[in-house]
Amino acid sequence: MSEKKNSLLIIKNTVAIFFAAVFFAFLTSEFELKAAGRTKITSMDEFYVAISNQIHNHEVDVTYDVSDYNLVKKIMDISMEDYQFHYDEKHPLISGCYLSYYIDYMSLYYSHGTLRIVIQFKYSKADMDEHFSMMKELALKLKKDTAFDTILNVHDYLIENFEYDKKTIYVNHTDIDGFKDNQMVCSGYSLAAYYLLNEAGIPTMVITGYGGNGAPNESNHMWNMVFLDDNWYNLDITWDDINGKKPAYNYFLKSDKDFTEHVRLGRYDIDYFKYAVAEKSYKLPMKLKYGDFKIYILVVAVLIAAIILFPRLFKKRNIEVKAAILDDTYRELDATLDYDNNTENNTAYIRENSPDDDNLKYNFSWQ
């Protein structure tokens, strides 16, 4: 009897061990599968790319593998402002300088080699997907045969179709909000230009800083830098939108010297920024440089000047003559020398000014 009990006990223990082993193997394999599906981060660049992809895909909660504790310390010390300076040359539309403006904040949690990032989005996934799809189609529509014409077309489109948001509260800071009611502030213009130009294949950056002629008149501001003909140029579409309809070109493709009342912030500062702006502003066509009305005024002024000066150049001129040798005789005269510098034979005559000799004329010629 005891032997039978012992046998049953052995069988129970064996079965228990078997199921425990199976359960442990299941947990281990599940953990390994999850780990295998996680992105591994080994540098700050990879961290920024991971965040950007998470935002672009509208993933709220994602865990990553990070085994380097020194890297973890750097990551945990970053701020949202640091991420806003991230610019990926190869994938500009998945960069922090653009995507960071579509989230409210992100929280980081590190534990035993894993980094968990939780993001609070400003917009729903449906809203973001719809906006990006619309912007992609618009970029294709605005793209022209040359980079210059594409930049010009985007510049004019945003000015002609949008107005600066002058509300005191709840202004439209992003292009997503701006495209809903056709009003936005400088960040909206800049983010829209960033997407449209980069999607069209023209390298473009977002620049943050201050606008104005110094304290207390300066304020937070945002604009763009665009790459054209092997040079970077400043572009401020917001300040070129003077009345919401007719584009101006006062801040279009400018050098730093000609880009007045703009001060870059932090890492965008001229002394630290690695992307140097062209020394001279881009040479614009006369129509853009002076405007249709100014060209009209210039043409009218030239025509008026021609009308005034033309007769003077070709009319007869009168020169007072006090003495002359006439018929081999020296004479003192009160006369006038008349000549026509448009004549082919270089002839003229001296006319006496005396009433009695009004018709007395002395013809002569010269070589």
Residue 277 near residue 256, CB atoms below 8 Å: yes
Instruction: Output the pLDDT for position 341.
Output: 47
Q: Running along the chain, 367 residues long, what does each successive block of 10 average in pLDDT? A: 57 54 45 62 94 96 94 88 89 94 94 95 96 97 97 97 88 93 95 98 95 70 96 97 86 96 82 84 84 59 67 55 61 59 50 54 48
Residue 326 near residue 362, CB atoms below 8 Å: yes
Instruction: Output the pLDDT for position 359.
Output: 47
Instruction: Output the pLDDT for position 266.
Output: 75
Instruction: Output the pLDDT for position 366.
Output: 45
Using alpha carbons, select from 125, 88, 85, 87 the residue that is nearest to residue 103. Answer: 125
The answer to whether the predicted template modeling score (pTM) of the entire model surpasses 0.75 is no
For every residue of 278-314, DSSP letters joined together read: PSS-----HHHHHHHHHHHHHHHHHHHHHHHHHHHHH
Residue located via tokens 């007869």: 316
